[in-house]
Structure 1
Amino acid sequence: MTAVTDHDTEYSDQPHTGEPSQPSRPPESAAPPAKNGAWDDGLIARRAAGQSGDLLEAAPPAGPGTSDDGQLKERLDALRELVGLSRTRLEGPTLAEAGRVLDEAAARRRLSARHTVVAVAGATGSGKSTLFNALAGVPLSETGLRRPTTSAPIACSWTDGAAGLLDRLGIPGRSRRRPLQGQHGDTPLDGLVLIDLPDHDSAAPAHREQVDRVLALVDAVIWVVDPEKYADAMLHERYLRPMAGHAEVMFVVLNQVDRLPGDAAEQVLDDLRRLLDEDGIALGEHGEPGATVLPLSALTGDGVGELREALDQFVGERCAAARRIGADVDAAAQRLRPVYTAGRQIGLSEAAREEFADRLAEAVGAAAAGQAAERAWARGANKACGTPWLRLWRWYEAQRAATASTPAALPPADEEATARQRVEHAVRAVGDAAATGLPTAWGQAVREAATRGAEGLPQALDELAVAAGTPDAGGRQPGTPSGPGARPPRPGWWPVAVLAQVSMTVLQVLGGLWLLGQIIGIVSPNLGVPVLMMLTGIVGGPCVEWACRFAAKGPARRYGQDAERRLRDAAAACGRARVLDPVAAELLRYREVREQYVRVTGISTTGR
């Protein structure tokens, strides 16, 4: 028996006899998990660019097809960063598939880029082991009527150096073979590693588990179907349809065509193509990328040469591994699409921001504060421009009120509760508006950001309301004094009005003294002038007060509006700092994550 060893692994050109000829590496000796290339970096905003342990760093350029490595590297880096940015927002199972793709991509790219691992898969009795032997040129895999015939994967490598790849697949040394060598050392299918799998429809669960495990790790797969089971629902629903995105690394061969009379083979082949099209598998016809569909007979050898030529070209391109990884990335991105694509333009509209500000202004009582400021300004005008006798009376009333005053009552509990409810409702409304159209996980994160930011907001608004209730009537003009003792500003015509009011009072006093002098006889009698002076003062004082009150309406209204606006702006600034800014930060984070998702998929997302 002739044997060729490769890294302590034996290959034999004879069928497997059931016992290893020398100690072999156990299946558990698979390649160790990636360290530098691992996806679980543990940081939220960590960037993949420039880090050691690049997913493709360990894969040296080797032959044709490496020009796509740069694009694949960029997509893998984007996927790794996407997972890192999303870990605190998404549940672990959601990102598990993307993590597996990154781990397997790192493991595959660290191994030989010269080899292409192709699995031969098929149902019971489809003749896949016969095809495996026909491609190898020597009976390496058992064939026969006993089912299942193949109980464990068998590997055949056309080129040395594939031990690491076979270790990763968990294929022990006793199941590794070499094909029949050609004349003069000619080795067609250079770099091919062919794997004969157990039946995917085997009655033994362990066989199906091995098929699923190996199919997830190989670079390409040859699906062998026969005229009886080519339309089997299990094959199409469990394997072909889910792997539709892997069409470029897929061969579908219709075996046993020698059993079909006349043009029946073409009819079955056309029906097979129709089924593949319904599965979403692109067919590589007319030079287009896609699955290769061929009819053949592994028993008679018809069509095996065409399959060998197609495999030789496929393996020679050295692109299968990159295409498989790219297809896996596509599949992972498709599963994550509902998590990252928005259904509408994201962000807070100006109308939502204005509505939030309106509700906070209502909660803090901005309108009431403005009305109070307007009344305070009007009272100041009346006090300054009123008649002295009226001012004296008001001073007397104020003194009486001061002696009988009681401590100011606290706001009713129901009013305070209502204001707090308004603030909570405003926060919920703006959170819902910001989360509208976002994927569920990110929408929930936005709402939570709004809720966390609202903690302490009612107390802050209460402080603003208390500040607005000070004697300065809740506001002041720019440049005027501030504090509890500050007074509303006075327009320029107030001194003139005060002077006019003083003149009216002086006329009343002078007229009264004149009349008094006439009564006691120290002044010559003359009633006309003093009476006229008194009447002028008595009538002119109220007229001046009325004119000042009318003139003060406009400035008082503007002063109240300015006080309301300042309190409203203060409440809006408080709400923006505590609620809107955290919400905007969360939306910015989502935009950043979505950009990474676009890099992974290479397509635009809705709502961009």
Structure 2
Amino acid sequence: MTAVTDEDHTDHTDHTDHSAHAAGRVGRGPEDGGPGGAQAKDAPEGAPGKTASRAAAGDAGADPVAEAAGAWDDGLIARRVNEGAGGEQAAVVEIRTGAAPAAGPPVYDGPLRSRLDALRELVGLSRTRLDNRTLAEAGQVLDEAAARRKLSGQHTVVALAGATGSGKSQLFNALAGVPISETGVRRPTTAAPIACSWSDGAASLIDRLGIPGRLRRRPVQNAEAEAQLRGLVLIDLPDHDSAAVQHREQVDRILKLVDAVVWVVDPEKYADAMLHERYLRPLAGHAEVMFVVLNQVDRLPGEAAELVLDDLRRLLDEDGIALGEYGEPGATVLAMSALTGDGVGELRELLGQFVTERGAAGRRVSADVDAAAARLRPVYVTGQRTGLSEEAREEFSDRLADAVGATAAGEAAERAWLRNAGRACGTPWLRLWRWCQSGGDPVTGRFPARAQADEEATARQRVEQAVRTVSERASAGLPAPWAQAVREAAVRGSQGLPEALDELAARAGLPPGRPPRPGWWPVAVLAQAAMTLLQVVGGLWLVGQIAGVMDPNLGVPVLLMVAGIVGGPLVEWSCRLAARGPARRYGQDAERRLREAAAGCGRARVLDPLAAELLRYREVREQYGRVVGAGAR
């Protein structure tokens, strides 16, 4: 079949007529050494826009504007690779004049842009908490989304993927209308990916796939067929189950870059475990940019094709792939035969509608974001409540207060206040007896020191136990990386905490000097002095009477002495009752100051770093919720 477009010059026909070898050679673009002579043949592979001199090929009508623009204009268009077909098939040549029109980038809708921004922010916030391997896929998705955003939005890159013998190259040729990709019984037949573009301006997209110029094709069809698939860039991939490792590597690499995939299966291998486990199941979230074609149905008798197609749908459903049936979004599944042409027209129509929508690139990126978010979910969401409750904070502060002896310090302050009140308001004789009793106690100087050392060791253990407890509560329910970060923050804060608490306890403990005296103490002291004076006067009176200095009168001195003896303890007892309230308040104030000092030290060194880690986790979890499009729970 020889076809020449309406844009060709009349003298081009003469060139094809005088080219006796055109019927048997491979038709190529300028990158391939086709209508461009030796100059194109010497051009490096994959150099887009490398236009050969048409004058060397005898083409006097070459357009210098197109050559200067550097657009991908390989001029062909179909490659004859079936050597056994003889000279019946002529090379199909298409010459385009003028530079390719500039194509704008794909348009990502608002939600997708927001999700990409959230994913970028999420990766940035997680750099210090997650290893690079964990974030590698998300980073790659961002890079590929940005790279695709810079390229043509008027083209849709669709890959034909399949196993050996599935007939994908035959389907590739059927869609192109001319034999471009080699077919045959030798396995594997397709050794390298081949690109076929239905319109200009796709060179940068094909460059991104790493397909060299010698493997780029342009089909020539009638105006209606070309308009139907305008904007399509079709890629024929090597077999994904090829025995050659480099073939499988090329398939895996290009599948990550294309906008959509047409999976070509045959009645023998449609249930192949490798296909479902390695490709279809992991790509289940990409159903909206996926076609599954059951090829070679002409080999199935009667209703066997429908039965196999139904079983294929069942397998796809088990893989988690949503099927685009009844108007719902999902993968398109159809049966066809590339050999007989049955169903090829339907697939061409579906591809035409798919390309016309110009939304495949955005849907592919959105599916990639979904896949990356699903794999990142275990490091951001556990389904449990997280955070540090107020109860846990109070318990931590109480443990630190116990470690520094806040309760004991308060009790000691209360006893000191009572002791001072007793000294001030007690009877002189009782104070003298207590002084004598305390002065007779032996002081060794060893036991108190040993008790102090034991107390310090116990306090340090209590501090360490308090830190471990609060870190475990703070990290409970967190994903492993964030729980580890919380525990590490607690360990860093605990370093030097016992020493800091001791220093604070010394500063925030009892104030130097005696406790403050209330206003009723002078009255009590005067009353106690009066009682003592009565005892002294009564006693001296009795002594004077006994000595005969004074007139005998036992009633008055005895009464004075009894009043002083009874009144002194009564005043002391009354003062002790009155001192209980102030002494308790004084002890509580001392305990409160020590507790506040311990709580402040623990908050600054442990609780605040834990809160910072938890806040960072809440931020990344909120960002993750924006990435998946809903609040993460």
Q: 1:397 to 1:172 in 2, by over 3 A?
A: same
Range that drifts further, 494-503 or 551-560:
551-560
SS at match of 2:528: helix
- For 1:50-81, what per-residue CA distance to the aligned partner results, in whole angstroms no more than 9, with x for missing partners? xxxxxxxx99566xxx4x52221111111111
Name the CA distance, whole Å, in 2 between partners of 1:60 and 1:461.
66
For the 8 Å contact 2:112–2:366, the answer to whether it is kept is: yes
The alpha-carbon deviation at position 332 of structure 1 amounts to: 0.4
Q: 1:15 to 1:123 in 2, by over 3 A?
A: farther
Name the CA distance, whole Å, in 2 between partners of 1:16 and 1:454.
76
Which residue in 2 is equivalent to 1:449?
489
Which residue in 1 is equivalent to 2:45?
26
Name the CA distance, whole Å, in 2 between partners of 1:26 and 1:283.
40
The alpha-carbon deviation at position 512 of structure 1 amounts to: 2.6
Which residue in 1 is equivalent to 2:592?
565
Question: Which consecutive unaligned segments of at least 5 residues does structure 1 have?
Answer: 5-11, 31-57, 469-473, 476-482
Which residue in 1 is equivalent to 2:604?
577
**Bigger CA radius of gyration:** 2
Aligned pairs for 1:66-105 within 5 A: 66=107, 68-105=108-145
SS at match of 1:562: helix
Which residue in 2 is equivalent to 1:528?
555
SS at match of 2:257: coil
- For 1:506-541, what per-residue CA distance to the aligned partner results, in whole angstroms no more than 9, with x for missing partners? 111222333344345543332221121112112221
Larger RCO (CA under 8 A, 6+ residues apart): 1
Structure 2 residue 580 is the aligned partner of structure 1 residue 553: yes
Aligned pairs for 1:279-318 within 5 A: 279-318=319-358
Q: 1:162 to 1:29 in 2, by over 3 A?
A: closer
The alpha-carbon deviation at position 544 of structure 1 amounts to: 1.9
Which residue in 2 is equivalent to 1:334?
374
Which residue in 1 is equivalent to 2:517?
490
Aligned pairs for 1:166-565 within 5 A: 166-183=206-223, 187-394=227-434, 409=449, 412-467=452-507, 474-475=509-510, 483-485=511-513, 487-565=514-592
For the 8 Å contact 1:15–1:141, the answer to whether it is kept is: no
Name the CA distance, whole Å, in 1 between partners of 2:565 and 2:224.
135
Name the CA distance, whole Å, in 1 between partners of 2:517 and 2:323.
87
The alpha-carbon deviation at position 166 of structure 1 amounts to: 0.8
Name the CA distance, whole Å, in 2 between partners of 1:342 and 1:142.
51
Q: 1:159 to 1:502 in 2, by over 3 A?
A: same
Q: 1:359 to 1:28 in 2, by over 3 A?
A: farther
- For 1:23-57, what per-residue CA distance to the aligned partner results, in whole angstroms no more than 9, with x for missing partners? 44435999xxxxxxxxxxxxxxxxxxxxxxxxxxx
Name the CA distance, whole Å, in 1 between partners of 2:589 and 2:379.
47
Q: What letter matches 2:45 in structure 1? A: P
The alpha-carbon deviation at position 489 of structure 1 amounts to: 3.0
Q: 1:435 to 1:281 in 2, by over 3 A?
A: same
Of 594, 598, 602 in structure 1, the residue corresponding to residue 621 of structure 2 is 594
Q: 1:29 to 1:500 in 2, by over 3 A?
A: farther
Aligned-residue CA RMSD (Å)? 2.8
Name the CA distance, whole Å, in 1 between partners of 2:416 and 2:558.
37
Question: Which consecutive unaligned segments of at least 5 residues does structure 2 have?
Answer: 6-21, 35-39, 50-101
SS at match of 1:589: helix
The alpha-carbon deviation at position 116 of structure 1 amounts to: 0.5
Q: 1:29 to 1:415 in 2, by over 3 A?
A: farther
Q: What letter matches 1:376 in structure 2? A: A
Q: 1:20 to 1:410 in 2, by over 3 A?
A: farther
For the 8 Å contact 1:156–1:176, the answer to whether it is kept is: yes
For the 8 Å contact 1:16–1:175, the answer to whether it is kept is: no
* Identical-residue share of aligned pairs (%): 74
Name the CA distance, whole Å, in 1 between partners of 2:27 and 2:221.
18
Name the CA distance, whole Å, in 2 between partners of 1:414 and 1:381.
32
Q: What letter matches 1:559 in structure 2? A: Y
Q: 1:394 to 1:520 in 2, by over 3 A?
A: same
Name the CA distance, whole Å, in 2 between partners of 1:356 and 1:588.
19
Name the CA distance, whole Å, in 2 between partners of 1:529 and 1:304.
137
TM-score normalized with structure 2 length: 0.82
Name the CA distance, whole Å, in 2 between partners of 1:430 and 1:457.
14
Name the CA distance, whole Å, in 1 between partners of 2:292 and 2:26.
26
Name the CA distance, whole Å, in 2 between partners of 1:243 and 1:185.
31
Q: 1:171 to 1:532 in 2, by over 3 A?
A: same
Name the CA distance, whole Å, in 1 between partners of 2:445 and 2:278.
83
The alpha-carbon deviation at position 492 of structure 1 amounts to: 4.0
The alpha-carbon deviation at position 320 of structure 1 amounts to: 0.6
Name the CA distance, whole Å, in 1 between partners of 2:208 and 2:268.
34
- For 1:263-311, what per-residue CA distance to the aligned partner results, in whole angstroms no more than 9, with x for missing partners? 1111111111111101111111111111111111111111100000100
For the 8 Å contact 1:329–1:600, the answer to whether it is kept is: yes
- For 1:389-444, what per-residue CA distance to the aligned partner results, in whole angstroms no more than 9, with x for missing partners? 33345566778899x89798475433222211111111111011000000000011
Name the CA distance, whole Å, in 2 between partners of 1:498 and 1:182.
122
Q: 1:24 to 1:276 in 2, by over 3 A?
A: farther
Name the CA distance, whole Å, in 1 between partners of 2:584 and 2:333.
85
Range that drifts further, 263-272 or 386-395:
386-395
